[in-house]
Amino acid sequence: MGTTKINKSRGRPRAFDMEQALDKAQALFAEKGYDALSVADLTDAIGINPPSFYSAFGSKSALYGQVLQRYAELEGIDIVGALAADVPLAEGVARLLGEAAANYGGGNGTGCMVIEGARGGVDAQACQQARRLLDMTYDAVHSGVSLHAPEKAEMVMDYVMATLAGLSSSARNGLSPDRLQRIATIASRQLAHELEEK
Residues binding DNA (CB under 7 A): 8-16, 37-40, 48-56, 59-61
- Asked if residue 22 lies in contact with residue 70, where contact means CB atoms within 8 angstroms, the answer is yes
- Give the residue with the Cβ less far from DNA, 55 or 176: 55
Q: Which is nearer to DNA, 90 or 113 (CB)?
A: 113
Instruction: Tell me which of a second copy, DNA, none is bound by residue 15, counting a contact when its beta carbon lies within the kind-specific cut-off of 5 to 8 angstroms.
Output: DNA
| Contacts with a second copy, residue ranges (CB under 8 A) | 33, 35-36, 115-116, 119-122, 154-155, 158-159, 161-167, 169-170, 172-173, 175, 179, 182-183, 186-187, 189-191, 193-194
What are the b/e assignments for 140-179, b being 16+ CB within 10 Å?
A: bbbebbbebeeebbeebeebbbebbbebbbbbbeebeeee
What is the smallest separation between the CB atom of 136 and DNA, expressed in angstroms?
24
Angle made by CA atoms 51, 63, 112, in degrees to the nearest 5 = 150
Using CB distances below 5 to 8 A depending on partner kind, what does residue 60 bind out of DNA, a second copy, none?
A: DNA
Amino acid identity for residue 154 in this structure:
E
Measured N-to-C along each axis, helices 60-75 and 124-148 cross at an angle, to the nearest 10 degrees, of 20
What values do phi and psi take at 9, rounded to 5? -70, 170
Contact of residue 70 among a second copy, DNA, none (CB under 5-8 Å per partner type): none
172 interface partner picked from DNA, a second copy, none, CB below 5 to 8 A per type:
a second copy
Q: Least CB distance from residue 172 to a second copy, whole Å?
A: 7
**Nearest approach, Cβ of residue 35 and a second copy (Å):** 5
Smaller CB distance to DNA: residue 6 or 85?
6
Asked if 171 and 104 count as a contact pair (C-beta separation under 8 A), the reply is yes
Do 116 and 103 touch, CB atoms closer than 8 A? no
